[in-house]
């Protein structure tokens, strides 16, 4: 089979989206957002879940007093005031889009109802467990040879849902974690170890116990070589590989075919400059997207004939950018690189 037909086409946007709105009301001729309204808006974001929000549209409106020119400016100022409040709460500005309608969209004969800014949220459905009765899982991570506990990062890759991330501390035992569904692959990764994966068997969900316990054994490795690919590109906010990446993918495949005995770790990296606003919402998204991009390369290699038993993958978020303040597109692309580590078990 030709390698050119094997690009992974899955999208990272696997969320169920919904929407809701919130209104900020203003006094006549004013665009001041009161402390009470700011608190209500903050509570609305907390209710939705800040990490779930994907986009926010802000509309500015006025009543029909004054001239249309004056009202156009006033509506813009009201929208800008709402945007500034959102940014002060911690919402990244790139999530916000703004529009001004002046007096053109009156909704009531009560003038106060027209003096408003509409804040329209688009967000992921906050997934609750589909399992009844609910199930929890505890993950233990140990060294495969010594059987001693090791500290590790764990991820829950749910089919069709957002990922969840957690940690196993030095005791090697995680806290009980709620399972959202029975379609999940758990992965554990640690420095100087091969990542380990476990897809929960469907039969385990039916067992008459509320907590499932799994032990993931990680094999210690040393790095024998490092390969860096700076021209494997993805579409914006997606793990879909762009077609112009094909020459680099062919080079990667050839390198692994020359090193048939090596284990391989695929690392996906992100570009997110350190001077851009960030919060837990953005951090989770960076980690998930970098993970899914590494996984996309994994799928490409598997479908190209590389044994999945040799391959592990992990997302590095933007923790190892080559350029923390990239000055141009070329430096941004280097931050988005894919790195391949050839490993040998020890």
DSSP string for 274-319: TTS---HHHHHHHHHHHHHHHHHHHHHHHHTT--GGGEEEEE-TTT
CB-based contact 252:322 (threshold 8 Å): no
CA-CA distances (angstroms) from residue 84 to 77, 93, 122, 191, 314?
10, 9, 18, 41, 36
Q: Name the pLDDT band for 17 (thresholds 50, 70, 90).
A: low
Q: How far apart are the first and last CA of the chain?
A: 35
H/E stretch holding 206 reads none
Q: What pLDDT is attached to residue 15?
A: 41
Q: Name the pLDDT band for 13 (thresholds 50, 70, 90).
A: very low
- Interatomic CA distance for residues 155 and 180, integer angstroms: 13
- Interatomic CA distance for residues 108 and 104, integer angstroms: 12
**Residue whose C-alpha is closest to residue 213's, from 253, 172, 242:** 172
Q: What pLDDT is attached to residue 279?
A: 59
**Residue whose C-alpha is closest to residue 177's, from 195, 149, 154:** 154
CATH number at residue 176: 2.60.40.1120
Asked if residue 130 has pLDDT above 80, the reply is: no
CA-CA distances (angstroms) from residue 342 to 147, 193, 224?
24, 12, 6
Q: Is the pTM of this model over 0.85?
A: no
Same structural domain, 322 and 208: no
From 159, 184, 218, give the residue that closes a domain. 218
Q: Name the pLDDT band for 135 (thresholds 50, 70, 90).
A: confident
- Choice among 41-50, 107-116, 297-306 with the minimum mean pLDDT: 41-50
Same structural domain, 97 and 205: no
From 175, 196, 218, give the residue that closes a domain. 218
In a domain, 96, yes or no: yes
User: What residues are paired with 264 via a beta bridge?
Assistant: 311, 342
Q: How is residue 164 written in tokens? A: 């969840």
Residue ranges making up the domain that contains 321? 221-345
Same structural domain, 211 and 227: no
Same structural domain, 159 and 103: no
From 218, 237, 263, give the residue that closes a domain. 218
**Residue whose C-alpha is closest to residue 302's, from 316, 290, 315, 313:** 313
In a domain, 3, yes or no: no
Same structural domain, 246 and 157: no
In a domain, 8, yes or no: no
Residues 6+ apart with CB under 8 A from 57: 96, 97, 98, 99, 118, 119, 120, 122
Q: How is residue 314 written in tokens? A: 């992990």
In a domain, 4, yes or no: no
Residues 6+ apart with CB under 8 A from 26: 32, 33, 78, 115, 116, 117
Same structural domain, 113 and 161: no
In a domain, 2, yes or no: no
- Choice among 84-88, 236-240, 278-282, 296-300 with the minimum mean pLDDT: 278-282
Same structural domain, 238 and 341: yes
- Interatomic CA distance for residues 332 and 271, integer angstroms: 6
Asked if residue 3 has pLDDT above 60, the reply is: no
Same structural domain, 152 and 253: no
Same structural domain, 34 and 120: yes
Name the region of 85 (left: φ>0; alpha: ψ -120 to 50; beta: rest). Answer: alpha
In a domain, 42, yes or no: yes
Same structural domain, 228 and 212: no
CATH number at residue 101: 3.30.1330.60
Q: What pLDDT is attached to residue 74?
A: 97
Mean pLDDT of 133-146: 92
In a domain, 11, yes or no: no
**Residue whose C-alpha is closest to residue 39's, from 59, 62, 22, 19:** 22
Number of domains in the chain: 3
Same structural domain, 75 and 52: yes
In a domain, 154, yes or no: yes
Same structural domain, 341 and 225: yes
Asked if residue 7 has pLDDT above 90, the reply is: no
């Amino acid at each position: 089979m030709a390698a050119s037909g094997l690009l992974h086409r899955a999208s990272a946007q696997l969320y169920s989206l919904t929407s809701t709105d919130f209104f900020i009301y203003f006094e006549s001729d004013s665009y001041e957002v009161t402390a009470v309204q700011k608190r209500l808006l903050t509570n609305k974001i907390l209710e939705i879940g800040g990490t779930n929000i994907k986009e926010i549209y802000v509309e500015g409106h006025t009543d029909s007093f004054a001239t249309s020119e004056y009202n156009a400016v006033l509506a813009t100022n009201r929208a800008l005031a709402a945007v500034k409040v959102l940014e002060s709460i911690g919402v990244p500005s790139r999530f916000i889009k703004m529009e001004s309608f002046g007096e053109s969209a009156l909704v009531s004969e009560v003038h106060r109802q027209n003096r408003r800014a509409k804040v329209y949220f688009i967000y992921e459905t906050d997934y609750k467990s589909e399992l009844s009765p609910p199930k929890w899982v505890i993950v233990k991570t140990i060294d495969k040879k010594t059987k001693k506990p090791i500290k590790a990062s764990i991820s829950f890759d749910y089919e069709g849902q957002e990922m969840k991330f957690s940690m196993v501390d030095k005791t090697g035992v995680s806290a009980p974690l709620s399972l959202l569904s029975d379609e999940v692959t758990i992965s554990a990764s640690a420095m100087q170890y091969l990542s380990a994966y476990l897809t929960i068997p469907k039969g385990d969900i039916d067992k008459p116990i509320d907590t499932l316990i799994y032990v993931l054994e990680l094999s210690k490795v040393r790095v024998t070589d490092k390969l860096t690919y700076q021209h494997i590109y993805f579409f914006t906010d997606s793990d879909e590989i762009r077609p112009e990446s094909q020459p680099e993918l062919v080079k990667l495949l050839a390198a692994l075919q020359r090193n048939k005995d090596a284990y391989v770790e695929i690392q996906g990296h992100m570009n997110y400059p350190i001077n851009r606003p960030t919060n837990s919402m953005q951090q989770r998204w960076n980690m998930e997207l970098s993970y899914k991009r590494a996984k996309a390369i994994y799928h490409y290699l598997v479908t190209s004939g590389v044994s999945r038993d040799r391959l592990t993958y992990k997302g590095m978020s933007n923790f190892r950018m080559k350029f923390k303040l990239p000055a141009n597109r070329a430096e941004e692309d280097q931050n988005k690189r894919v790195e391949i580590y050839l490993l040998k078990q020890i």
